[in-house]
Amino acid sequence: MNLNDLTPLMKRRQDGGFGFERFRADPALTGLLWPDDVLRDFLFEHGDYGPFVADYGHVDLSTITWTLETIPTADFHAMPTGESEAGLIEHFAQHPVHWVTVRPPQMGQHWKDHGTWLRSPLLIDRRLLNPADSGLQVLEGRTRVGVLRGRLREQLYVAPEHLAWVGRT
């Protein structure tokens, strides 16, 4: 199963305007035993977003297992995102304070208190991509990773490790 196989579900979501609970219960997704956070951020929010489909449309979704992992800050320094949105992480990194202040206040407070994001981003093992490569790639959460890089550059508090959902086979 890949993103293109879910086109009818995405169309029903758009046409019917139904929420996440109904989306999650759709029979098309019964084979995916994914955490709600991943299902929401990956498929519900981005499953029909053009650049996202261009980058990840070929990925066999049914082979991915998601785990919440602790990732060292250093691993995020050069972690890429999808080719169609290359440079977007650095765009967010240029003004990390701005990107936090335009979000709900608890996000900014969480960065100040804990040096990390409030919600874990999604990373994918690059061996699942075409062409395959090594390491991890930011699938969803480019703003969060950009804020992390920008905070480091501006010498603002950043925790030594961060939680992220990681998709692997």
CB atoms within 10 A of CB 168: 15
pLDDT reading at 92 higher than 90:
yes
What pLDDT is stored for residue 12 in this prediction?
87
What pLDDT is stored for residue 142 in this prediction?
96
What are the helix and strand counts (H, E) for the chain?
Answer: 9, 4
C-beta separation of 53 from 148 below 8 A = no
For residue 90, the Cα-to-chain-centroid distance in whole angstroms is 16
pLDDT reading at 17 higher than 80:
no
pLDDT tens digits for 59-83? Answer: 999 999 999 999 999 999 999 999 9
pLDDT reading at 34 higher than 80:
yes
pLDDT reading at 16 higher than 80:
no
What pLDDT is stored for residue 15 in this prediction?
82
Cβ-based neighbours of 44, under 8 Å, separated by 6 or more: 13, 20, 23, 24
- Model confidence at 134, pLDDT cuts 50, 70, 90, reads very high
pLDDT tens digits for 105-120? Answer: 999 999 999 999 999 9
Mean pLDDT, all residues of the chain? 94
State the virtual CA torsion across 60, 82, 84, 131 in degrees, nearest 10.
-60
What pLDDT is stored for residue 121 in this prediction?
98
pTM of the entire predicted model: 0.94
